[in-house]
Structure 1
Amino acid sequence: MFPFYLSRVHEVCKAHLLYRFKRLPNARLYARENGYEGAMYPWQTSDTGNEETQIVHYNPISGLWDPDHSCRQRHVGIAIFLNAWRYWTEIQDRDFFIDVLVEMMLSIAMFWQSIAHEEADGHYHISGVMGPDEFHETSDECGSGVTDNAYTNVMVVWLFDRVKDILDSLTDNERHVALQKSGLSPDVLHRMDDIGTRLYVEISDEGILQQFRGYASLKELDMDTYRKRYGNVKRIDRILKAEGLSPDHYKMAKQPDALMLYYLLPISEISNILRRLGHVIDDEVAFLRQNYDYYLARTSHGSTLSYTVMAKIANLCGRPTFEWNWFMEDARSDIFDRQGTTGEGIHCAVMAGTLDILLSNFVGLRQHADGSVVLRPTLPKHWNCVRFRQRIKGKWFEFEVSKKDIKLCLIDGNINSDEPTGPFYVGNNKLLLCPWSSVTVEYTNCASMSAFVDTMLRTKFIRQSVVDMHLADAEPAATPVSILRLALQSLQSAPIGTDERTYLLMDTGKRVAVDLRYEKSELIKDLLLLEDGEDALFTYMINQNGSGFQEKVAEGVAFLGDTLFHNFVTARNGTVSPDCPRCVTAVQSVYNAIWLSMWAKTCTVNSSFITSKSLAWIRATSVLPDGIVNYGASSGKECMGHQGVYYSMSASSSDADVMRRINDRLKLLLQNREYRKFLVIGHGLQILVGQTSLAKQDKDSSIPADQSEALVNAVHRIVNEVSTGGSKPTIRTTKCNIYITPCNSETCNTALDAGLSQYNKKQGLEWMA
């Protein structure tokens, strides 16, 4: 609810924060009573500021009163801190910030550093807490509550980062007073920094962000059986307790817990925190989607707030059908009394969440820390227009968003001022508004390299869902098709230079020429198949390939006949066009995946796809359903079979360790703003078996030579630092790439040129067999 009031009646938010501040002494006392420092706010409170959370909870199924441990939801303090931070960054009321917010926020931070404890494993841990889930109240790790709740721990690291920002914004005198009031000494600040790099968050080998420590050992719950028996299983916790069981023992949540992070923070910020804590996140969106699918199957939606969070994350995952379903569940919750509680009062938080979905998902309104506002609309197919007013940085704006354009107007600025307000970004348009001046602009989302890459990565998940539906003989839904159409329109309306080439913004504001022909043509083919049918696509391909194409296809069909092949092997162009100049956007087409899947299922016994690229790249760009083909990468030196089992050639333990540490350092290097562009040009970063390659230039030489040289120097520095006292890999550079190979002999370059390059896909297939 706080963001809703902040954008409309911020005085309500100020009153709420004052309410919290006036009960700061009670929060400090509550912390001391529990053996902690700083301020520990109660989960539920009243005028007194004391803990008012119930200690027993009535179970209408069993008729018993069960213990209630929800007072252990210490993350309420994080929510208060977050709201205070949002108020400060949006309203910029410095007097209120200095007099009220700083002391309260630093006192909350003081509590979190005191509850974290260091153990023999070298990590800090936080025990005895409950996450947003609420089903898991006790654990073997610590008795009451759980240990290392992922949502809590990641948000604590975020909170400590904001403490630095707060202190940096103060004058010397203000800083001295704030530290004195909150009790933050230099030692405490140092401890916060240490916790910020060593707080324990668990990610399984399968890439699942564990809800808390020990979660992996819990049992799975057969929800289908309970649905047949009880019908409504949203409060499966009550059902289990009535049967003499405990929800603490099962992988089932009331509402999103670990996923709640993505409702509050940007994907990139969460990934950076996880990397700082020692985890490797190669593909941020794929990581989120994997966790979304995992926890969606293990969430009962016992609270209607669950739908709000799921809808927003579905948007981030590129799951429009789920997004719409969750939105409608929220919208109907009180109208149709879904929980049976509307008679006692409506759920205001859900109402605010519904509006948030409308604005952040469908209108695509995003505010950034630098004050800029971005609009990327994806209106539902049966919505023609959305009109609303929004307060941004203390000024009221009027928006009218349709499927083709956006109208913006600043309606309460200083009419005597010529100073513009903004910027607003609508596609590739940057807008600055003057009071009472209205601007209408047709929008496109593709003006920068990052936006282009983001657009293409989103099409992967859309294409994947369309392929799954097609192979299941289901008609593709209209929404995924409309999103592919929007992606094509976005690419087609990207800025064009006088030389008729597409130019996108790279970092530092430089525009570079980008060849989008592959991405455009594959989207066109997909839309022809999905909207007009296979015959229309075939006609298009005949026209594109010239005379003789149809005859060659007919000849091939006649030759194959009814033959069932034992093995079918295809190289890179079996799923990805070799004409695409970038690996990161070379997403497999729907039509290609459908045809290849049908071929593999009906015409062959075994099908394999083999490439000289990495297995991670194949998985990032292929939309083939699991189990269709065997994947062979690194020219066959690593592979994944139908059952998802991974195999690779072995390397010496010393070489493998050196390359692993080099690769980890490279990933961190590429998070820096000046180096991110090298991930989205050419081959990007390819971690192969026995070699790592990194693009330093594209075929059009769009990267300035000094920047490419800086990357090469940085790679040399990393290799030298990691290889101290051990075997030193060899670095070889070509016009476009840097190759790192574990080898320290005098003849390594010769071996690399004459030996490694001779290892071909044929040898890889023989090894895979």
Structure 2
Amino acid sequence: MAQVERVELKTLKDFYALMGATREVRHDAVSRILDGRQARDDAAQSLKNALASLEDVPELEGRKELALDRERKIALDMAYEINEMKKDLIYLEQGEQAFLDHLADLHPGFRDYVAQGQAMLDGLDLNCLVSDRDGTVNNYCARYLTSVQSIYNAVFLARFARSGATSPVILTSAPMDGLRQMSVVPEGEFYYAASKGRECLDLEGRLRRLAIPPDKQAAMDRLNRRLEELVAKPENEKFTLIGSGLQFKFGQSTVARQDINKSVAEDESDAFMAELERLVAELDPEHACFRIEDTGLDVEIILTVESSGDELKDFDKGDGVKYLNRELGLEMHRGPHLICGDTNSDVPMLEAALDLSRDAKAIYVTDKQDLAQRVQSLCPDAVIVPQPDMLVTILGTLG
């Protein structure tokens, strides 16, 4: 495995290439650590070189500035990439206890929150873990395409997958290719469910998909062609470079209109949202194929499914849980289960789990009181924590 060298980052392409190289280093390190060995001697040096390369990028008003092309530049928030590398270096060079002490210094109330979660799960023989990824068991990144999983994160989660749950599932709205490219846990440890659960990579490496009717797939193909044309316009290209960018999923497409750092002016974001609404209305005037879900950051355009009474609804993560239970034989009628999320779109996972078995626990990552109350109304003993690092530590230190 080649060592990552310190390089001068000039373009956005350089940045993506560097983060891709760190993915290989991290994947190798995680595999070795899980096998009871040490990471390669040059793993830490590779991450140091990558970190220096990121820190050397010139800043403009607190953001790193890179060339988009010969004429244009783009300002980027690289906090996730830089901070996760710093954490990994502490984990590799100083050991796990020093790393946990660092997290305690970083996050107020860290040890108390971790103790709460451990107390709830202690002694439970979980059947299923079903967890969202970004914002839940992975810290948020300003762009999906550079949100490479950290070494410590992967080791803690894989450790729990091996001993804490019979069937561990990561269920995300991201596309399968993106999920696999950003993950550094060796395949076979988790079921990876993407596109809200419409597609899944099982523990044997087989890809399984919920069938989409041909007419709806044709509608999806038309939508995706028009979305590509829309973001190809110079004034719209920026929406492919922030947040989730443009993602073609199975039964759903996502395009960013803003990111967590408000990189795009609000009037431009709102105008782009209006363009998307006009496009969907043109392609589906009877509202027979698509539903739009706007998070304020991402716009999800989702194929509808039939619900009770032949009514149409958008496919949500609860539908994904029920499909995965049937397809993978998860036996979710038999608990206990642990459901983890961080947004309202993750609540249907908990609702579906409770429909299948009342023996379901929940840990949600949020500082939003309305979401916390919604989760605790369904699961009164749910634990609420404000940071993904807390949930990951709860899982990774249970054994």
TM-score, normalization by structure 1: 0.36
2:2 to 295, 308, 320: 320
1:763 to 315, 319, 342: 319
Counterparts in 2 of 1:449 and 1:728: CA distance versus 1, 3 Å:
farther
SS class of match (1:478): coil
> Residue 685 of structure 1: CA displacement?
1.9
**1:420 aligned residue:** none
**2:51 aligned residue:** 488
**2:148 aligned residue:** 587
**1:464 aligned residue:** 27
Q: Deviations over 1:598-646 (max 9, x none)?
A: 1111222111111233223211211111111112223223222212222
SS class of match (1:584): helix
What is the alpha-carbon distance in structure 2 between the residues aligned to residue 643 and residue 668 of structure 1? 38
1:479 to 36, 42, 46: 42
Q: Deviations over 1:556-615 (max 9, x none)?
A: 4455445432222222245422x3222111111110110110111122211111123322
Give the number of aligned pairs. 315
> Residue 508 of structure 1: CA displacement?
5.7
**1:224 aligned residue:** none
Deviating more after overlay: 728-737 vs 631-640 = 728-737
What is the alpha-carbon distance in structure 2 between the residues aligned to residue 624 and residue 539 of structure 1? 24
**1:206 aligned residue:** none
Counterparts in 2 of 1:533 and 1:660: CA distance versus 1, 3 Å:
same
What is the alpha-carbon distance in structure 2 between the residues aligned to residue 450 and residue 715 of structure 1? 31
Residues 30, 184 of structure 2: 8 Å contact kept = yes
Q: Deviations over 1:316-355 (max 9, x none)?
A: xxx406xxxxxxxxxxxxxxxxxxxxxxxxxxxxxxxxxx
SS class of match (2:130): strand
What is the alpha-carbon distance in structure 2 between the residues aligned to residue 644 and residue 472 of structure 1? 20
2:188 to 624, 627, 630: 627
Amino acid at match of 1:768: L
Amino acid at match of 1:592: N
> Residue 711 of structure 1: CA displacement?
10
What is the alpha-carbon distance in structure 2 between the residues aligned to residue 444 and residue 715 of structure 1? 42
SS class of match (1:475): coil
Give the alignment of 1:340-739 within 5 angstroms: 378=5, 445-497=8-60, 499-507=61-69, 509-546=71-108, 548-554=109-115, 556-557=117-118, 560-572=121-133, 573-577=135-139, 579-660=140-221, 662-663=223-224, 677-699=238-260, 700-702=262-264, 736-739=297-300
Counterparts in 2 of 1:633 and 1:597: CA distance versus 1, 3 Å:
same
Residues 502, 513 of structure 1: 8 Å contact kept = yes
Amino acid at match of 2:2: P
Residues 575, 622 of structure 1: 8 Å contact kept = no
What is the alpha-carbon distance in structure 1 between the residues aligned to residue 219 and residue 250 of structure 2? 13
SS class of match (2:144): coil
Counterparts in 2 of 1:664 and 1:530: CA distance versus 1, 3 Å:
farther
What is the alpha-carbon distance in structure 1 between the residues aligned to residue 104 and residue 287 of structure 2? 55
**1:47 aligned residue:** none
What is the alpha-carbon distance in structure 1 between the residues aligned to residue 164 and residue 292 of structure 2? 43
Residues 507, 673 of structure 1: 8 Å contact kept = no
What is the alpha-carbon distance in structure 1 between the residues aligned to residue 228 and residue 93 of structure 2? 40
SS class of match (1:627): coil
Q: Deviations over 1:711-769 (max 9, x none)?
A: 9869978997xx79x999658595544544457xxxxxxx98xx32xx54333212211
**2:370 aligned residue:** none
What is the alpha-carbon distance in structure 1 between the residues aligned to residue 151 and residue 165 of structure 2? 20
Counterparts in 2 of 1:650 and 1:614: CA distance versus 1, 3 Å:
same
Q: Deviations over 1:461-495 (max 9, x none)?
A: 22111111111222211233222111111222222
Residues 197, 320 of structure 2: 8 Å contact kept = yes
Residues 719, 729 of structure 1: 8 Å contact kept = no
Give the alignment of 1:278-293 within 5 angstroms: none
What is the alpha-carbon distance in structure 2 between the residues aligned to residue 565 and residue 444 of structure 1? 45
**2:386 aligned residue:** none
Residues 697, 708 of structure 1: 8 Å contact kept = no
> Residue 677 of structure 1: CA displacement?
4.3
Residues 663, 687 of structure 1: 8 Å contact kept = yes
> Residue 543 of structure 1: CA displacement?
0.2
What is the alpha-carbon distance in structure 1 between the residues aligned to residue 174 and residue 157 of structure 2? 20
Amino acid at match of 2:90: L
Amino acid at match of 1:470: I
**2:345 aligned residue:** none
What is the alpha-carbon distance in structure 1 between the residues aligned to residue 233 and residue 69 of structure 2? 11
Higher strand share: 2
Structure 2, unaligned stretches of length 5 or more? 305-310, 326-399
What is the alpha-carbon distance in structure 2 between the residues aligned to residue 695 and residue 448 of structure 1? 21
SS class of match (1:474): coil
Higher relative contact order (CA 8 A, sep 6+): 2
Counterparts in 2 of 1:649 and 1:543: CA distance versus 1, 3 Å:
same
Give the alignment of 1:141-220 within 5 angstroms: none
Residues 729, 740 of structure 1: 8 Å contact kept = no
RMSD: 3.7
> Residue 662 of structure 1: CA displacement?
4.3
Counterparts in 2 of 1:625 and 1:667: CA distance versus 1, 3 Å:
farther
Amino acid at match of 2:167: N
SS class of match (2:92): helix
Give the alignment of 1:231-270 within 5 angstroms: none
Residues 682, 736 of structure 1: 8 Å contact kept = yes
SS class of match (2:42): helix
Amino acid at match of 1:460: R
What is the alpha-carbon distance in structure 2 between the residues aligned to residue 708 and residue 462 of structure 1? 40
Q: Deviations over 1:380-418 (max 9, x none)?
A: xxxxxxxxxxxxxxxxxxxxxxxxxxxxxxxxxxxxxxx
Amino acid at match of 1:535: Q
> Residue 554 of structure 1: CA displacement?
4.2
Amino acid at match of 1:463: R
Amino acid at match of 2:94: D
% identity of equivalent residues? 27
What is the alpha-carbon distance in structure 2 between the residues aligned to residue 576 and residue 629 of structure 1? 15
What is the alpha-carbon distance in structure 1 between the residues aligned to residue 167 and residue 220 of structure 2? 33
Q: Deviations over 1:140-168 (max 9, x none)?
A: xxxxxxxxxxxxxxxxxxxxxxxxxxxxx
Counterparts in 2 of 1:454 and 1:575: CA distance versus 1, 3 Å:
farther
